Structure 1
Amino acid sequence: MRSSSRREFLKYLSWAGAALSLPWPASATTSDHPGRAVEVTGRVRGPNGGLEGVPVTDGINVTQTGADGRYQLASSTRQPFVYLSVPAGYRLPTHDTGTAHFYRPLDPGEGDAVEATFRLQPLDRADEKHAFLFLADPQTQTEAEVQEFQDGTVPDVRQTVKALGDRPVFGVGGGDLVFDDLSLFPGYEAAVQQMGIPVVQVVGNHDLNFDAPGDPGSTATFRQYFGPEYYSFDRGAVHYVVLDDVYWPGSDGFGRKTDDYFGHLDPAQLAWLKQDLALVEDGRPVVVLLHIPPLSTAYERRGESSPSVRGMISNRDALYELLSPFDAHIISGHVHENEHRYAASPHEHVVGTTCGAWWTGPICYDGTPRGYAVYEVNGESLQWRYKATGHDADHQLRLYPAGADPTSPDEFVANVWGADDEWTVVWYEDGVRTGHMARRVGVDPMSDRLYDGDDRPEKHTWVDPQPTAHLYYAPFNPDASRIRVEATDRFGRTYTSALNAEADPAGTTSG
């Protein structure tokens, strides 16, 4: 969609700018009724009594439990939930489906005083070492795609969890859990239940009620299934924050309805985040999980002068400022490609999608295979790699012979989809190390073959190959009979792939 992206940007720039200039409510909430003051009291209990210092919130105000585990919170019936930030060492409470359940509804009919008690169970092992899986954009549009998600992704996740050994593992549904048809949420829940791990959910732009009058109502169905749109919890030394950065105005500011969105963090959420992070020690690892990346650089690779309002957080500088005291990582999906960005202090991870290019083929349109990211945490240290669905964990690159990229006919190509600035990629000719491959922006040859053309792919002809920055090139030597590529990540893990020099340019070899 190289050309359509530019058109989308021009189409929505004017109304998005108008929306951003409107006066935002000082206390944006997720309910549209007037509301009244309500006092919420309760207790957070463990097996041996009250738990001290547990943050409790209604999404606006944050308090902490006292020595006996009791808390008191001034709230409003405008707020749909009271919920807690689950501390390290305790299980994430879940529904029977495995989706996280750390919240209690605030019923406007309960009166001016509400009691909400939470009971937490300790983990059966220490969580200083733990892991999590980020599953971006399952984005199922039909029951058949739900089945494909359940039949393909779920067994792969279970194998990955088993390979992680005795670490506590949780999952993250990284938004766009479905593709506009919210009646498919139960299919997503069924998949989570089969995974056998607790899973927290991020709201995506395809998880919205587009018939709502504005942003607060757009997440009504998501809340019914999964609870609050933003919250936090701890695992070991890491503080995790889930945010809702999808803003749907419901109107373009001139009374005209629209079903579009842009990336934005509303003031109430930022005010809550400031309170939440005030309880976290400076220097600690903080991992932010959201849907739209702070800034996708896809527009630069397409040669466009400006990013789309739908591929960035408009007020990302406010997020960066709040995260500046911490060792922060921001993990997102949304754009169906793999990317790492370091322009600001947090390390931004954009993860390839579970559905690939909307269930049209085995890869995203940048050549990244369908899959998800696996993060292993040891104390305050994070390691990660991308896990391609249906492949071994060391499947981290794909090779193309000379001629596969018509713009570089005398070079062979390696797509190293997990690469960042700390990776090294070298090649060998007949066992002799020859040099470092050159990293350049280009189009993955398989993506070009599968997705280029007005009639391809058949299911969604609007899917097009996209330029990516994780392609590596080296000159083809006709005298070499075998070429081997070694890609070494920032953690010292080396992955290899090889091809015969006389391979057909239409073919590929992966390792």
Structure 2
Amino acid sequence: MDLVRRQLLRSACGGLVYASALFPASRALARGAAGDFNFVQLSDLHWGYPGPENPDARGTLPKAIAEVNALDPAPDFIVFTGDLTHTTDDPVERRKRLREVQAMTKDLKVKDLRFMPGEHDASLDKGRAFGEFFGPAHYAFDHEGVHFVTLDNVSDPAARLGEAQLGWLADDLHAQPAGTPIVVFTHRPLFDLYPQWDWATRDGQQAIDLLATRPDVVVFYGHIHQEHHRMTGAIAHHSAKSLMFALPAPASQPKRTPLPWDPAQPYKGLGWREIEALPAQARYAITEVPVQKGAGT
């Protein structure tokens, strides 16, 4: 596929978003303007998952790390949008899995790493173990003229951001100069994709209303283990695939159970996808490539 880099979103095993510009050419990230850059998103690693839906459960994360290390140009930073580990009731095992993920991600050549939890990491202890290894669950940072915000909609087992975090978000947005592009990272979708399967944030509309006061906003999330694109007004929302197993499309089957591994199509639903994006029209042309591409398998 002939990819237009200035309008490119590239996604891969676990949701690798490789973007040199997320906003129209007239905005801060136009090619040639100060602020041109790229970053990587990885999501839903589910380290420790024991199910037959991925017989290479201990191999996909190292493969993803190898793929990211091979990117040229290298990304400016890497963000992990939650579910670093698979849930466990054992607090000792939970910390063991978090420690293992922390150790493996040190093999990444890019050292600017941003982490946030998923409900598998945080809901059973309100994020305490996650915080011990990876720090705050919500925060903001700036990079090349873009303001990035990570929101925590998982530490509360009721899937809420909560009044305190919404107040923090309002204050944070208010402090940004007019016209500053905003990129939001979150685990669950902020909008009601399919609440029956926990694919929603109960007070997410309040966050969307706050974000809607800004002219340029893009949201990246995980949790649903599949590609999905949605516009809420002028805000574009893009989901990342999982690194561990695929999940069914909303309401396509009675229960939200992982899709079975297909030996004839290994890594189906977990592989590279290249997306040529036209943000103004929210149109995407998608090509799937096997996950083991470039990973030495």
TM-score of the superposed pair, with normalisation by structure 1? 0.41
Residue among 152, 163, 170 paired with 2:77: 170
Indicate the residue corresponding to 2:64 in structure 1. Answer: 153
Report deviation, 1:309. Answer: 6.7
2:270 and 2:245 mapped to 1: Cα distance?
Answer: 4
Name stretches of at least 5 consecutive residues in structure 2 with no aligned partner.
1-32, 89-93, 247-257, 290-297
**Map of 2:199 onto structure 1:** 311
Find the residue that maps to 1:308 and give its secondary structure: helix
* 2:166 aligned with 1:264: no
Task: Determine if the alignment matches structure 1 residue 207 to structure 2 residue 107.
Answer: no
In the alignment, the residues of structure 1 paired with residue 217 and residue 208 of structure 2 have an alpha-carbon distance, to the nearest angstrom, of 9
More strand per residue: 1 or 2?
1
CA 1:296–1:338: 2 relative to 1, 3 Å = farther
Deviation at 1:320, TM superposition (A): 1.6
Q: How does the TM-score come out when normalised to structure 2?
A: 0.67
Deviation per residue, 1:277-323 (Å, 9 max, x gap): 121112221011010001353x4xxxxxxx32721111122112211
Q: CA deviation at 1:262?
A: 3.6
Seen in structure 2, the aligned counterparts of structure 1 residues 309 and 352 have a Cα distance that, compared at 3 Å, is: closer
What is the root-mean-square deviation in Å for CA atoms of aligned residues?
Answer: 3.3
State the 1:127 CA deviation: 7.1
Which residue is 2:154 aligned to? 246
Q: Deviations over 1:381-403 (max 9, x none)?
A: xxxxxx34xxxxx5x6xxxxxxx
Q: Whose Rg is larger?
A: 1
Structure 1 counterpart of 2:133, one-letter code: Y
Question: Among 220, 242, 255, which residue is 1:353 paired with?
Answer: 242
Structure 1, gaps ≥5 residues long: 1-125, 213-217, 249-260, 300-306, 372-386, 389-393, 397-415, 425-487, 490-494, 498-511
CA distance in 1, matches of 2:283, 2:201: 27
Distance change (3 Å), C-alpha of 1:342 and 1:175: same
The whole-number CA distance in structure 2 between the counterparts of 1:291 and 1:496 is: 23
Q: How many residues align?
A: 230
Residue in 1 that maps onto 2:230:
341
Given the alignment, which residue of 288, 292, 308 partners 2:184?
A: 288
SS of the residue corresponding to residue 130 of structure 1 reads: coil
Please state how far the C-alpha of 1:192 moved relative to its aligned partner.
Answer: 1.3
- Could you list the structure 1 runs, at least 4 aligned residues long, displaced by more than 2 angstroms after superposition: 142-147, 356-363, 418-424
| 2:270 corresponds to which of 362, 370, 389 | 370
- The separation in 1 between residues aligned to 2:103 and 2:259, in whole angstroms, is 19
Q: Name the counterpart of 2:283.
A: 423
Task: Determine which structure has greater relative contact order: mean sequence separation of CA pairs < 8 Å that are 6+ residues apart, divided by chain length.
Answer: 2
Question: 2:211 — aligned with what?
Answer: 323
User: How far is the alpha carbon of 1:131 from its aligned partner?
Assistant: 1.3
Q: Residue 360 of structure 1: CA displacement?
A: 5.9
What's the % identity of the aligned pairs? 24
Contact 1:338 1:368 in 2 (8 A): no
* Residue in structure 2 matched with residue 278 of structure 1 by the alignment: 174
